[in-house]
């Protein structure tokens, strides 16, 4: 007890000393920490150890909560996207959602313009995407959606597939006039933003100017003009106007007005057969309303409409209680470029009160003839088609159909005029280009194309194995008015009298009949001493088809070697497959020059030397191989080679009509080995695909 009392007293003494010290020492602003009790030390150690762990756990929980919130947001957005997909399932893919950025859309347009469109590749890509989406799990779909929204954060996850090599599409190079025409379409659309009154005034001004300029240029005064994107649109409407004039009650009664006396429209047999079908479809007429007039059989006029037969057909139709409505004549037929007898056709149509429509490239020649003083009225019919954009090589220009004045109500009923100012502004590109070019530049472009046709005609006339059908080559020796450039200085009556050489050059590689050629047969061939038999009809047809194949090959080779000279293939009824050079349709578009024509003729002569050697040995090859027992001649359609043979072993000669599959396989295998050995000595040999029958 005494010890405890001593301890307590010492503690109390210490406390009293400390209290006295606090009273005697000056007070300072010091924060002296209180002494912690002894039992607080383990708790501090515990907190010091656990606090960082709790902070880390709390941070991880927050991160996990953020991930869960993100997943919930993604699930909600995915659910919303799925709901929208179901609601928009009936819409095409490009229209779904909120659309694409304008830059992406314009990039797509640029790619479609500059490169060929591979439909198979697009379909395969879509199918692959759909299959991949079906096989993906829910979380993969969410991850894919995340990648689509933030592609920059997922670049390292998946390498993009290599795109297929794009094939560039050749485009016409535009000059200042072409760019002005293309830009004018945007200006016409922008003019729709004007106030209506001002819009009407602008449209009227532009349309009136174009009508005046074209009517003076093409000698078609006192007429109206209809503008369209395709020349057949104007033809349909002028035929409808002609029907309204022939059938006054047609506007009101419709087809009932035509029932008693059905209408008839007369077309040249050299016209595109689709024209008649298009007219019947647009006018609601039966096919019996289209009458095809045969062409003349005179040499040099094989595509001109026979006016005598036309007059007889008209009389027969009138006697059969039919009503002749319209005749479509050509100032330049589509296949050869011949000009119909315009003056005779005008006389027939005027006497019978029939509408006459004229179309063709030779209409462009009217823009070249401008006599001084009183201008001669050179109307080529009741309506004409002017494809001035093609003739001048300027894109985006409308086709102008010029027609004579008629009852305004009937004209409006035929949709040849419109009160809508937006439709009237379709001629704005033409209004801009005509002023920019001027008559001298217009004449120069058309004259250049005509000179190219003359140059091509003259050069081809010097090649014996080239036969021309668009012009009479015999007139070249007589030195009559032959070239278009010489015709420009003559009167307009020449065009009316169809004394116009074709602006199209049509030619064909054919057999040289100027010298009789003999076929030398190899001495080892059987029957080498037998005289040549007279050519049968089957042989003539075979040779005709063979020359068709040669001309197809020649045209393809020339077009590949001379891209600046456009050559197309045409099938003439009697002559066969021919090549056509129409500079008024292509020269100004692709920029053909006189030098290009000269290079083309050089290339043609080079290819003809190959064909001459092939033709020279063609019959020789057939004579030699036909007498060989083990060789069988094979005719391959549209093949321009020397010939095709098949080797038949002796064991199968007697059973060619009943060969087994194994025998056919052996023969094919044997011929493959033969061709491989022959190709080692001469690369001209090739393996055909003619099977053993």
Q: How far apart are CA 453 and CA 566, in angstroms?
A: 12
Q: How far apart are CA 591 and CA 581, in angstroms?
A: 14
pLDDT of residue 213: 94
pLDDT over 90 (residue 438): yes
Tokens of 196: 């209506």
pLDDT of residue 219: 85
Global confidence as pTM: 0.75
Q: What are phi and psi of 509, to 5 degrees?
A: -75, 125
Q: Which domains are assigned to the chain?
A: 176-444 (3.40.640.10)
User: What would the mean pLDDT of 488-495 be, rounded to a whole number?
Assistant: 47
Local structure of 297: helix, strand or coil: coil
From first CA to last CA, the distance across the chain in angstroms is 137
Condensed to tens digits (0 to 9), the pLDDT of residues 165-178 reads: 677 777 778 889 99
Q: What are phi and psi of 35, to 5 degrees?
A: -75, 130
Number of other residues whose CB lies within 10 A of the CB of residue 279 = 22
Give the confidence band of 246 by pLDDT, cuts at 50, 70, 90.
Answer: very high
pLDDT over 50 (residue 373): no
Whether 588 and 449 have beta carbons less than 8 Å apart is answered as: yes
Do the bridges between strand 355-359 and strand 399-404 make them parallel or antiparallel, or are there none, so unpaired?
unpaired
If one compares 222 and 244, the residue with the highest pLDDT of the two is 244
Tokens of 353: 């009160």
User: What would the mean pLDDT of 446-466 be, rounded to a whole number?
Assistant: 93
Strand arrangement of the beta sheet that strand 505-509 belongs to: 466-468, 505-509, 576-581, 568-572
Number of other residues whose CB lies within 10 A of the CB of residue 263 = 23
Tokens of 39: 């039992």
Tokens of 399: 């086709």
Sorted by sequence, the CB contacts under 8 Å of residue 217 that are 6+ apart come out as 366, 367, 439, 442
Sorted by sequence, the CB contacts under 8 Å of residue 655 that are 6+ apart come out as 663
User: What would the mean pLDDT of 585-592 be, rounded to a whole number?
Assistant: 92
User: What would the mean pLDDT of 54-72 be, rounded to a whole number?
Assistant: 86
Q: How far apart are CA 671 and CA 668, in angstroms?
A: 5
Q: How far apart are CA 12 and CA 10, in angstroms?
A: 5
pLDDT over 90 (residue 679): no
Burial category of 195 from C-beta neighbours within 10 Å (exposed 0-12, middle 13-18, buried 19 and up): exposed
Local structure of 98: helix, strand or coil: coil
Instruction: Kindly write down the DSSP assignment for every residue of 141-199, as one continuous string.
Output: HHHHHHHHH-GGGGTTTSPPPPPPPPPBPP-PPP-HHHHHHHHHHHHHHHGGGS-HHHH
pLDDT of residue 163: 52
Q: How far apart are CA 207 and CA 427, in angstroms?
A: 7
Q: How far apart are CA 3 and CA 519, in angstroms?
A: 154
pLDDT exceeding 70 applies to what percent of the chain?
Answer: 73
Q: Which of 44-53, 267-276, 629-638, 663-672 has the highest mean pLDDT?
A: 267-276
Whether 295 and 309 have beta carbons less than 8 Å apart is answered as: no
pLDDT over 80 (residue 480): no
Q: Which of 141-150, 327-336, 664-673 has the highest mean pLDDT?
A: 327-336
Condensed to tens digits (0 to 9), the pLDDT of residues 203-238 reads: 999 999 999 999 999 888 888 999 999 999 999 999
Instruction: State the sign of the Cα–Cα–Cα–Cα dihedral 352, 353, 358, 364.
Output: positive
Tokens of 676: 């491989």
pLDDT of residue 692: 42
Cα–Cα separations (whole angstroms), residue 172 to 115, 116, 395, 450, 595: 14, 15, 9, 21, 20
């Amino acid at each position: 007890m005494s010890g405890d009392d001593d301890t307590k007293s010492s503690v109390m003494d210490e406390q009293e000393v400390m209290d006295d010290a606090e009273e005697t020492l000056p007070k300072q602003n010091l924060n002296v920490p209180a002494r912690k009790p002894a039992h607080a030390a383990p708790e501090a150690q515990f907190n010091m150890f656990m606090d960082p762990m709790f902070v880390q756990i709390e941070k991880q929980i927050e991160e996990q909560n953020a991930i869960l919130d993100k997943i919930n947001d993604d699930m909600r957005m995915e659910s919303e996207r799925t709901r929208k997909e179901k609601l928009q399932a009936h819409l095409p893919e490009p229209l779904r959602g909120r659309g694409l950025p304008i830059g992406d859309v314009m990039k797509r347009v640029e790619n479609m313009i500059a490169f060929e469109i591979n439909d198979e590749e697009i379909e395969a890509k879509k199918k692959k995407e759909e299959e991949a989406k079906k096989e993906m799990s829910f979380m993969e779909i969410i991850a894919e959606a995340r990648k689509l929204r933030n592609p920059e954060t997922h670049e390292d996850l998946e390498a993009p597939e290599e795109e297929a090599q794009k094939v560039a599409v050749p485009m016409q190079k535009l000059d200042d006039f072409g760019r002005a025409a293309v830009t004018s379409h945007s200006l016409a659309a922008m003019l729709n933003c004007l106030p209506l009154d001002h819009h009407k005034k602008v449209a009227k001004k532009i349309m009136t100017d174009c009508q005046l300029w074209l009517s003076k240029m093409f000698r078609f005064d006192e007429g109206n003009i209809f503008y369209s994107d395709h020349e057949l649109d104007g033809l349909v409407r002028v035929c409808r106007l002609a029907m309204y004039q022939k059938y006054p009650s047609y506007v009101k009664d419709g087809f009932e007005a035509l029932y008693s006396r059905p209408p008839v429209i007369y077309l040249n047999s050299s016209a595109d057969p689709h024209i008649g079908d298009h007219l019947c479809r647009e006018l609601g007429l039966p096919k019996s309303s289209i009458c095809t007039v045969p062409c003349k059989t005179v040499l040099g006029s094989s595509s001109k409409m026979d006016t005598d037969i036309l007059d007889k057909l008209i009389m027969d139709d009138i006697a059969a209680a039919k009503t002749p409505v319209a005749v479509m004549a050509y100032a330049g037929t589509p296949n050869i470029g011949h000009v119909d007898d315009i003056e005779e056709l005008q006389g027939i149509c005027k006497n019978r009160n029939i509408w006459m429509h004229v179309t063709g490239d030779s209409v462009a020649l009217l823009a070249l003839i401008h006599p001084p003083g009183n201008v001669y009225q050179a109307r080529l019919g009741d309506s004409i088609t002017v494809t001035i954009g093609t003739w001048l090589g300027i894109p985006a220009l409308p086709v102008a159909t010029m027609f004579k004045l008629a009852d305004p109500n009937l004209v409006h009923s035929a949709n040849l005029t419109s009160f809508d100012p937006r439709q009237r502004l379709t001629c704005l590109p033409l209004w801009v280009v005509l002023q920019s070019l001027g008559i001298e530049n217009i004449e120069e472009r058309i004259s250049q194309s005509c000179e190219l046709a003359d140059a091509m005609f003259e050069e081809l006339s010097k090649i014996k194995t080239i036969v021309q059908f668009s012009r009479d080559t015999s007139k070249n020796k007589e030195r009559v008015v032959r070239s278009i450039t010489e015709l420009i200085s003559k009167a307009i009556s020449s065009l009316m009298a169809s004394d116009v050489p074709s602006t199209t050059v049509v030619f064909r590689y054919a057999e040289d009949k100027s010298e009789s050629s003999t076929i030398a047969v190899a001495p080892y061939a059987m029957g080498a001493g037998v005289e040549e038999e007279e050519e049968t009809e089957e042989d003539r047809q075979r040779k005709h088809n063979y020359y068709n194949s040669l001309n197809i090959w020649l045209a393809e080779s020339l077009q590949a070697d001379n891209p600046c000279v456009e050559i197309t293939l045409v099938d003439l009824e009697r002559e066969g497959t021919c090549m056509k050079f129409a500079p008024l349709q292509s020269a100004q578009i692709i920029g053909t020059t006189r030098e290009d024509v000269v290079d083309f003729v050089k290339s043609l002569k080079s290819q003809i030397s190959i064909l001459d050697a092939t033709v020279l040995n063609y019959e020789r090859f057939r004579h030699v191989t036909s007498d060989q027992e083990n060789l069988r001649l094979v005719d391959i359609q549209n093949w321009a080679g020397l010939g095709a043979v098949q080797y038949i072993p002796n064991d199968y000669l007697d059973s060619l009509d009943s060969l087994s599959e194994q025998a056919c396989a052996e023969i094919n295998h044997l011929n493959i080995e033969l061709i491989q050995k022959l190709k080692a000595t001469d690369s001209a040999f090739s393996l055909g695909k003619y099977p053993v029958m």
